[in-house]
Chain A
């Protein structure tokens, strides 16, 4: 039973437009959410995070929105660039155990 779900395996966007990646979760105990980016043949790299006490966190072109009532978060990339083409993973954590539960990832292609 997946506790963190990324229902879109892939997304294609034109350069300069907005990319929106979605993530749903089922466990209301999650109190921290992260997005990671992964290029082929590399390990995931941390992108942006949000605590459950916030509903928005912004870092440059990347913004994460959290809707706790809907158990939904989204990552917005504006404007999208070809270098953003990668697999994006949503992950969630709860309490002090430091373990993350990961979604299956969404492959983003930004076309020039």
Chain B
């Protein structure tokens, strides 16, 4: 099992460019999450999904969109990147009922917006 994988690992964008971060999990988890981690801010939830075709906003959703067309994939989109979106992005997934709070994380995507 690969667990949770994220693509790409690194990316540099110019202000105003767009990109999509891909998260894939092979554990058949119902829940998936996107976080960002910034120095001194801990992990903050951007968006999450409780199942295929459903998404919901987290703490810091502005400037991001998500889609979950397949159960195993969760995409995070930046339509018009801003320097404030420079961060490390983590995807995570979890079961709905078995140990529901235990989230499994991907290795992260380091994004720099210049």
Contact = CB atoms under 8 A, between A and B. Distances in A.
Interface of A: 32, 34, 41-46, 49, 89, 91, 93, 98-100, 102-105
Given A46-B103, A98-B96, 6 more contacts: A41-B108, A43-B90, A44-B43, A98-B31, A100-B101, A100-B103
A43 B45 contact: no
A44 B40 contact: no
Contacts of B72: none
Interface residues of B, number: 25
A43 B47 CA distance: 17
Contacts of A105: 42
Interface string B61-98: 00000000000000000000000000000101010100
Interface string B90-114: 1010101001111111111000000
Contacts of B4: 43
27 contacts: A34-B101, A42-B108, A43-B90, A43-B107, A43-B108, A44-B43, A44-B90, A46-B102, A46-B103, A46-B104, A49-B99, A89-B43, A91-B43, A93-B101, A98-B48, A98-B50, A98-B94, A98-B100, A99-B45, A100-B45, A100-B101, A102-B42, A102-B44, A103-B42, A104-B40, A104-B41, A105-B42
